[in-house]
Amino acid sequence: MLGLLAWCGWSVAVSLDMDALPPAQLSPAEESEVDAMVLPVPPAWIGDLDGMRARRTVRILVPYSKTFYMIDRGQQQGVAYEYGKAFEAWLNAKRPLGQQSQRWQVMFIPVARNELLPKLLAGYGDIAAGGLTQTAGRLQTVDFTDPIYSDAQEVFVTGKGGPKLARIEDLAGQEVYVRPSSSYFEHLVALNKRFEARGLAPVKVMPANENLETEDLLQMVNAGLFGITVADHHIAQLWQSLYSDLVIHDGFPLNQGSKLGWALRKNSPQLKTALNQFGKGHKVGSEFGNIMLRRFFKNSKRVSNAVSEAEMVKFNALVGLFEKHAGTYDFDHLLLMAQGFQESQLDQRARSQAGAVGVMQLLPSTAQEVGVSGVETSADRNIEAGSKYLRLIADTYLTDPEITPVNRLLLSFAGYNAGPGNLMKFRRLAQKSGLDPNVWFGNVEQAAARIIGRETVDYVGNIYKYYVVYKLAEQKARERKAASVMAGL
């Protein structure tokens, strides 16, 4: 909430002139606090288990995901984390290093999902984990362990108000959103070849942003942000317990009999043998595997349907104001609108218990400190004050010319939510941990979760989801307008 700045762990109202903001550098005490949380940065290395034994370390590349791996207030958690720690215990029991004082260590290295296999091949990890499906394309470049889950189904999932699907042919001409790096994308391309041979219209395979995990896409389908996605059946079924509007179409799977396992580099026979021996007692169907299948599907911050008919009425009423103020302060107006939706669902009447008001949820005193009055009654003035404050954060703390416009605003949102002091800590910890301090997803967000937990990660993540669907809505509006012009309407 704007005007309440988290500084040194406390939320306090402060003056917003440049001199009153926290200095754009950390104090020695704060630097020491960050140093204590620095993540190790292992160098690139390629070899087999004997080399890992000499180094006493196995590196597992994982996607940063609420399902597979995340850090919440310094605590690592997720399915991939639990499997990795179990493998560490197995190595120490079954392949001890010889000296009692020496122990195997498994190190987790979070990366973007589309970087899992490239980073593995480049030697930045020894194993890639995260519900990876063996596909013909992947097997050309990497090897896989024996399956941890050997009969996975890839199913179509719709949400409330989504398309009616009774058979696979009903997908002809429909839009289906999946990540290009996923096995689902590969299998949809194969489905379209079969459709073409039968004279059916192809599925419109819509490339989802690589920053969105499968659980994010399910969350967005549940909210009605778009119509169809694909997920592994067991993943969709477990998230369905949280997202009750999901409809799983398991009568006509996209793919069945999928084998899920860990990926490793080819020519790693020692590591593959060890992983397969470990996997016999830890795959789905074993006591450990079944516990893991159920454990990590906890409450997540819900998203709402930002493009429902009612919400688009509010969108259309305010888009001109966001365009005006985003233009003045050099921001993407749709990304700014997405923040407004996260804060108030674009409702100027919104009021919080702390006294924040309007579309951008400002304290009136905060708005006055940035030189804007009337935020209680005027959406125009409210959006102006919010935009001006975000510009102040960006100009004070995010001056590196290498930061892209989208990342500058995402990082500003993090400062808006957690406070400028914490934003500086997030970026410094990311930098010292070998991550990119100029990129939010997969980088600074990891440091944020390590320092203060999931709140800011979920806050920025939800804004980005709304931004994605606003961009889609804008694109579709342009396409409809172009079609009308072509038709002479």
Q: Known catalytic residues?
A: 343
- The CA-based dihedral angle spanning residues 233, 235, 238, 243, taken in that order and rounded to the nearest 10 degrees: -100
- Report the sign of the C-alpha dihedral through residues 235, 239, 240, 246, in that order: negative
Q: Regarding beta strands 105-111 and 175-178, do their DSSP bridges make them parallel or antiparallel, or are they unpaired?
A: unpaired
Nearest CA to 67 among 78, 83, 82, 75? 78
Q: Which SS3 state, helix, strand or coil, does residue 231 take?
A: strand
Q: Regarding beta strands 255-264 and 149-158, do their DSSP bridges make them parallel or antiparallel, or are they unpaired?
A: antiparallel
Q: Are 422 and 6 in contact (CB under 8 A)?
A: yes
- Within 10 angstroms of residue 309's Cβ, the number of other Cβ atoms is 7
Distance CA 301, CA 91 (A): 37
CA 295 from centroid of its chain's CA atoms: 20
Place of tokens 């989208």: 406
- Within 10 angstroms of residue 484's Cβ, the number of other Cβ atoms is 10
- What lies within 8 Å, CB to CB, of 382 at 6+ separation is 348, 357, 358, 359, 360, 362, 367, 375
CA distances from 82 to 87, 91, 280, 293, 463 (A): 9, 14, 16, 11, 29
CA atoms within 13 A on the CB side of 72: 14
Q: Are 60 and 107 in contact (CB under 8 A)?
A: yes
User: Over the Cα atoms of the chain, what is R_g?
Assistant: 24
Q: Dmax of the chain from CA atoms?
A: 82
CA atoms within 13 A on the CB side of 395: 14
Distance CA 286, CA 105 (A): 24
Q: What is the DSSP letter of 69?
A: B
